[in-house]
Amino acid sequence: MIKQHFLLIDFFSYLQSIMNIGQGVLIILKQIIKNEEHISSRFYCIFFGKAIIGLSCLMLISCTKEDENITAPNETIKIPVIVHIIHNGEEIGEGPNITFEQVKSQIEVLNEDYRKKEYTNGFNINSVGADMEIMFFLAEYSPSGNKLAEAGIDRVNGGRQEWPKGILRNPIETTLKPATFWDPTKYLNIWTVNFGGFTGRDLLGYAQFPSNSGLAGLNSDGGLAETDGVVIGYKYFGSSQKGDFDYIFSPFNLGRTCTHEIGHWLGLRHIWGDGECDVDDYCYDTPNASEPSYGCLQNKYSCRSYDMIENYMDYSDDACMNTFTIDQKSRITTVLNNSPRRKNLYNNYKELVQ
Ligand SMILES: [Zn+2]
What pLDDT, on a 0 to 100 scale, did the predictor assign at position 43? 38
Question: How confident is residue 348, by pLDDT bands cut at 50, 70 and 90?
Answer: confident
pTM for the whole structure:
0.79
Ligand 1 centre distance from Cα of residue 230 (Å): 11
> Is the pLDDT at 45 greater than 50, yes or no?
no
> Is the pLDDT at 3 greater than 70, yes or no?
no
Ligand 1 centre distance from Cα of residue 205 (Å): 8
> Is the pLDDT at 264 greater than 60, yes or no?
yes
What's the rounded mean pLDDT across residues 294-308?
Answer: 96
Q: Give the DSSP letter of residue 159.
A: S
What pLDDT, on a 0 to 100 scale, did the predictor assign at position 299? 94
What pLDDT, on a 0 to 100 scale, did the predictor assign at position 15? 41
What pLDDT, on a 0 to 100 scale, did the predictor assign at position 166? 62
Ligand 1 centre distance from Cα of residue 101 (Å): 25
Percentage of the chain exceeding pLDDT 90 = 70
Q: Which residue has the higher pLDDT, 352 or 30?
A: 352
Question: How confident is residue 1, by pLDDT bands cut at 50, 70 and 90?
Answer: very low
SS3 labels along 202-228 = CCCEEECCCCCCCCCCCCCCCCCHHHC
> Is the pLDDT at 136 greater than 80, yes or no?
yes
Name the burial class of residue 153, with classes exposed (0-12), middle (13-18) and buried (19+) by CB atoms within 10 angstroms of its CB.
Answer: buried
> Is the pLDDT at 263 greater than 50, yes or no?
yes
What pLDDT, on a 0 to 100 scale, did the predictor assign at position 329? 98
Among all residues, which ones are annotated catalytic? 261
Whether the Cβ atoms of residue 314 and residue 308 lie closer than 8 Å to each other: yes
> Is the pLDDT at 353 greater than 90, yes or no?
no
Strands (E), the chain: 77-87, 134-138, 153-157, 188-193, 205-207, 230-233, 301-302, 305-306
Ligand 1 centre distance from Cα of residue 271 (Å): 9
Task: Report the alpha-carbon angle 189-124-100, nearest 5.
Answer: 35
What pLDDT, on a 0 to 100 scale, did the predictor assign at position 63? 35
Ligand 1 centre distance from Cα of residue 260 (Å): 6
Q: Which of 66-70, 79-83, 326-330, 337-341 has the lowest mean pLDDT?
A: 66-70
Q: How many whole angstroms separate alpha carbon 148 and alpha carbon 331?
A: 33
Digit-coded pLDDT (tens) for 204-250: 999 999 999 999 999 999 999 999 999 999 999 999 999 999 889 99
Ligand 1 centre distance from Cα of residue 195 (Å): 16
What's the rounded mean pLDDT across residues 269-282?
Answer: 96
Q: How many other C-beta atoms can be found within 10 angstroms of the C-beta atom of residue 339?
A: 23
What pLDDT, on a 0 to 100 scale, did the predictor assign at position 12? 40
Ligand 1 centre distance from Cα of residue 270 (Å): 6
What's the rounded mean pLDDT across residues 346-351?
Answer: 77
What pLDDT, on a 0 to 100 scale, did the predictor assign at position 241? 97
What pLDDT, on a 0 to 100 scale, did the predictor assign at position 294? 96
In the predicted model, what is the mean pLDDT of the chain?
Answer: 83
What's the rounded mean pLDDT across residues 263-289?
Answer: 97
Q: Which of 89-98, 197-206, 291-300 has the lowest mean pLDDT?
A: 197-206
> Is the pLDDT at 181 greater than 90, yes or no?
yes
How is 66-130 classified by DSSP, letter by letter?
HHHHHT-TT--EEEEEEEEEEESSPPTTBTTB--HHHHHHHHHHHHHHTTT-TTSTT----TTB-
Ligand 1 centre distance from Cα of residue 166 (Å): 13
Whether the Cβ atoms of residue 194 and residue 316 lie closer than 8 Å to each other: no
What pLDDT, on a 0 to 100 scale, did the predictor assign at position 198? 52
Question: How confident is residue 23, by pLDDT bands cut at 50, 70 and 90?
Answer: low
What pLDDT, on a 0 to 100 scale, did the predictor assign at position 201? 56
Write the CA distances from 284 to 56, 164, 219, integer angstroms: 43, 36, 20
